[in-house]
Amino acid sequence: MTVDKRALYTALPLVLALLVYVTLVAVPISPHKLLAQIPSVEYYVEGGKIYMRFEGVSKPIYFVGVNWFGFELTDYVVHGLWARNWEDMLRQIASLQFNAIRLPFCPPSVRPGTMPSTINYNYNPDLRGLDSVTIMEKIVQKASELGIFIIFDFHRIGCTEIEPLWYTDSFTEQDFINVWISVAQRFGKYPNVIGADIKNEPHSVSSPPNCYYDGRSATWGMNNSRTDWNLAVERIGNAILQVAPHWLIIVEGIQYTNPTSDNVPLYPTAVYWGENLRAVRHYPVNLPQHKLLYSPHTYGPDVYVMPYFNDPNIFPNNLHSIWNQNWGYIRRELGLPIYVGEFGGKYGHGGDSRDPIFQQKLIDYLIENDICWWTYWSWNANSGDTGGILRDDWINIWEDKYQNLNRSIQYCQSKYGIIKAPSYTVTPTTTTITTTSPTTTTTTVVTPTVTVVTVSVTDIVSVPLTLTFTTPITTTVTTTVPVTLIIPVMVTTTITTTSPVTTTTSPTTTATPTTTSPTTSAPGVRYSFTLNADSRVATVSGCIEFRVSGGSTTIGGVTVSPGSVLKICVNNDNALTWWIGTDGWLSANDLDASAVYVNGNQVLSNTKISLSGIQADLSTINSTLTITVTGTGQTSLTWNGQTVISGTDSRTLTISGVAPTTSKAMNLNIGTTTIYAEATATNYTLQ
């Protein structure tokens, strides 16, 4: 690429200044003091609007979009990639005129080397072997090409629950900051990244007044540096802005703030996690105001039935009084923009019948108050309490839910015109090199008139580091702690080592059986398979996935309740029986499961389980069952009279569908024993 002379002249003194600083002071460089590769874009707040300055031109923007979750869970990747291609998903988001995605994450997902699960590589072959953060970077880059803004959200520390504070007993505030620094350094170069949603939904572990003093609940305005969220945001936000000064710092509400601010007339304790911004009036966050964006989360009765939903004086026609009191006054009275980071519900597709009215009233409120910044929860089909924009097939959308949101999209477009995120070519980060012995890094700074190749390298070392510049200035700095060196965009880089280098490689993974989508949505399918326990004779493997609609149980410490998506995979040679009747009841007695997933999260592996009394709704979930049978010379398998397995053959039988239209009889003959199994399905294939 051709060097931008203005950028080169601006950055060259920075490089030389860094060299002089290292030469004269001879102390380790703090990683968060080093800037990310900053694109020619800035996001800022001014006059009640959010602006984007791109390549010297400023204009107000709206961003309206969706939350696409998964990186914050132990899958370490956005959900739905088991059902379709990731780029198709992004293109569909853009086609619906959403121009923003909020990406929740937890620390392992942004740490190089973490490998994702639940990806069907038949749909996503280009993701095979990639770690989670590289996949995240591909998503960000593709979103930029499609005009989609990205907001990063630190959603969970431990990837399993939403913690009340930004630290835990085993994860310090500095750990929290370090994660953000790594995210800002890696993704700050992408012009479509708006900013950092510092922490998802700080909340309380006790009720007022104890929550203000218990030392374990998030507070605001209590002058307690350990629990005051407003003070934490100042520390964390300043650290992020040192690395990515072009980003916005997004500050969510909490649950309970302080006794004074929470002394309000309407249902003072009836607030959702992340919703309460009452304390901003008297305790605003002390960050540069043009970089600050407040962000409430609010929900309806599908998530939790607040008492005001049962008050006819509030619901439905006076919901605005609740919103004004808890967060809307920031827009209406203080004149600041508000970004509603989460809201949503099932919109009448199950759940509380009042939810559609709630969502309609909220969109009315956003339009009436010129609030054109929001991300809906969620894009995903598998959000248990809200559902998603996508139906359970992960392809089609809930049209009525979308049309309600589209009222705001059309309003915002009429006010601002059609806004798309900026895009230009960025070299993605692809490899992290870790060394345990001395490494020499030679860096050549080119002159402004030379065309160079852009290279982005992050080299983390705990050994002597030599920087050689052709200015000509040469210095050697020896450090005893890790140093992170971000090479500016106009620098060409060569890395040489004099000893073995350890690189991160992708672990070998077991392929998930290929499944096919059901061809109908009628309820009811029946599978019953029994195989002999003699491991010398036959093996069975496969997965079946369904949505639980009645009954509940606990698997691996996780509650499987109505609405949960349960996936059971078998890869063993022990006796098993699955029975899913046309009435939707599942039983699996003494089932040796190689893996059990609840809502996409693996909760068990290589474990014997027993399920009974769980009602399975198979009308909207891909209920394909794949069975692989390997013969050992004594085994034969017939399917409706057709020989499938004979002798030592190995064949795969795929049965899919959800409509009990035909019955196919399967006889598994082990030696002289015939075992009968019946499957009612719309189609079947032999491979």
* Nearest by Cα to 637 from 539, 516, 534: 539
Distance CA 119, CA 135 (A): 11
Type of residue found at 65: G
Contact of 105 with 154, CB cutoff 8 Å: yes
Integer Rg of the chain from CA: 28
Distance CA 290, CA 249 (A): 10
Contact of 223 with 260, CB cutoff 8 Å: no
**Which of the residues are catalytic?**
201, 342
Distance CA 190, CA 145 (A): 11
Phi, psi of 60 (to 5 degrees): -70, 150
Distance CA 179, CA 181 (A): 5
Distance CA 400, CA 389 (A): 10
Dihedral through CA 551, CA 555, CA 558, CA 560, nearest 10? Answer: -20
- Backbone region of residue 267 per phi and psi (left: phi > 0; alpha: psi in -120 to 50; beta: other values): left
Q: Does residue 602 sit in helix, strand or coil?
A: strand
Structure tokens at 481: 């702690």
Identify the burial level of 557 via C-beta atoms within 10 angstroms of its C-beta, where 0-12 means exposed, 13-18 middle and 19 or more buried.
Answer: exposed
What contacts 233, CB < 8 A, 6 or more positions away? Answer: 198, 249, 251, 285, 287
